[in-house]
Structure 1
Amino acid sequence: MNSNMASLLSVLCVVLAVMNGAAKIAAAREFKVGGDSGWHEPARNDTAFYNQWASTNRFQVGDSLVFEYQNDSVLNVERWEYFHCDSNNPISAFDDGNTTVILDSPGVFYFISGTEDQCQKGERLMVEVMSPRSVLKSPPSNASVPAQAFSPLPLSHHSHGSSVSGSMLSFCFCFLFLLTVFN
């Protein structure tokens, strides 16, 4: 194969890898927590307000949550702190009135108001974040479902696993292709 053709193919591979990465970044979405209402103490007897709001959305790695609030705060906490409205040991705390949190890993994220009374009245949010966007093939209809498919969600938003992105796969494919062309 001549060098012009090899150069053209290597440029094409790089362009495809960059486009793949850019498409994933462009696909990330921003969600205003609570919709037009923002982050505030819910109306009386509406303690499920934020979790109902979350259930109407699908969150994926790379998306972000925007908390807009006044005279309040947002705490990112662990599961136990969420259920007990405990603000003593947050993962992170914000009180600037306009907070953006990037959902950087799959799993469950927990947020509460820094004011215990407001948290107990329902100003708290649990968000399930799906794995990074990718095209998944469905298993054949006669395939058995592994027992892991029904395991509970992780208790924390921390992820210890890893995933191979489409960009990395594109890079590896291009590298192997170029290796075979030049050898």
Structure 2
Amino acid sequence: MASFMGSVLTVFLALVVVNSSATEFQVGDEFGWQQPGSNNSAVYSNWASNNRFHVGDSLFFKYKNDSVLEVDKWGYYHCNTSHPIIAFDNGKSIMKLDRSGPFYFISGVPDHCKNGQLLLVEVMEPHPISQSPQSIADSPEPHLAADSPASSPSLGVVISITPCSLVIALLVTSLALVCSAP
């Protein structure tokens, strides 16, 4: 009976891990990567603020007669195309977000950046998964840096509940109760 419960628990954990996979975001959604109109110059900053980006996710740039440049912070704020970190011009470009922190993108077409075709994506730190919730709870309270935006300390535990994982958790609990009954 213990091996059956172990198998059910393994399947449950595998399903939970699958739910935390990387996401590919199409930049600008249906609008794609193009020069915005004069009344829509904040389209990319609005798009980025409505999404959460994690290490391992990727950005899909879809465009015509344009290009995508990853640049440094200075290049972003000055719309400088002369020293890109990476340049794409094939119409369908994918950029993997392989680290936390800011990523800066601009169009390589003159004046498109100045007219609002630029994107700043802030990639979140990966969540710590090496500690169990119990060992995190037993550890001393972390000190927050003075410039930290956090208003309260966090245990660093992420719980993602999807309908599928909720049903599986209920099934596992029900089976455990049935199997342990005399």
Does TM, normalized by the shorter one, top 0.5? yes
Distance 2:94 2:117 in 1: 17
Distance 1:133 1:52 in 2: 25
Counterparts in 2 of 1:160-175, with a 5 A limit? none
Q: Does 1:127 align with 2:121?
A: yes
Change (3 A) 1:88 1:144: closer
Q: Deviations over 1:13-36 (max 9, x none)?
A: xxx8xx88x937961001000011
Q: What secondary structure does 1:80 align onto?
A: helix
Distance 1:90 1:25 in 2: 35
Counterparts in 2 of 1:1-183, with a 5 A limit? 23=17, 27-134=21-128, 145-150=144-149
Distance 1:34 1:103 in 2: 16
Distance 2:39 2:78 in 1: 18
Distance 1:133 1:98 in 2: 30
Q: Deviations over 1:65-123 (max 9, x none)?
A: 00000000000000000011100000000000000000000000000000131110000
Distance 2:113 2:101 in 1: 22
Distance 1:25 1:103 in 2: 19
Superposition TM-score, scaled by structure 2 size: 0.64
- Checking the alignment, whether the CA contact within 8 Å between 1:25 and 1:62 is kept in structure 2 is no
What is the identity, as a one-letter code, of the residue corresponding to 1:114?
G
Counting aligned pairs with the same residue, the percent is 45
Change (3 A) 1:120 1:143: same
Gaps of 5+ in 2: 1-5, 151-182
State the superposition RMSD in angstroms. 3.1
Q: Deviations over 1:34-73 (max 9, x none)?
A: 0111000011132211011000000000000000000000
What is the aligned partner in structure 2 of residue 167 from structure 1? none
Q: What secondary structure does 2:39 align onto?
A: coil
Q: How many residue pairs align between the two structures?
A: 133
